[in-house]
Amino acid sequence: MNTIQSQLKLNLPMPMKIHAEDRASAFGMTMAAYIKHLIAKDIEELEKKHNLWADEARAEYKAGKTKALSSKEDIDEFMKQFSK
């Protein structure tokens, strides 16, 4: 797979840089690999949360606690609760 790459310049306070270097070294990683790892873990956590929310929403729908939004009016009514 050919993925488009990008470079990132990152300025860190010295104590944070030292901490990150120590952590990367402890895992036998370069700083770049360690930062990629941290971002990948963050994405993984967000995906897990999203899946949990989706599972909860499906369960509520199946239990009759929610209804499908099938028209513009349904969506408008639903969105009103967030504009208060």
Per-residue pLDDT tens for 45-80?
A: 999 888 888 888 888 888 888 777 788 888 888 888
Which pLDDT value is given to residue 22?
97
29 burial via Cβ count (<10 Å: 0-12, 13-18, 19+): middle
- For the range 8-17, what are the long-range contacts, defined as Cβ-Cβ under 8 Å and sequence gap of 24 or more? 10/35
Per-residue pLDDT tens for 8-21?
A: 999 999 999 999 99
Decide: pTM greater than 0.85. Answer: no
Of the chain, the end-to-end C-alpha distance in Å amounts to 47
Per-residue pLDDT tens for 31-49?
A: 999 999 999 999 999 998 8
Which pLDDT value is given to residue 84?
63
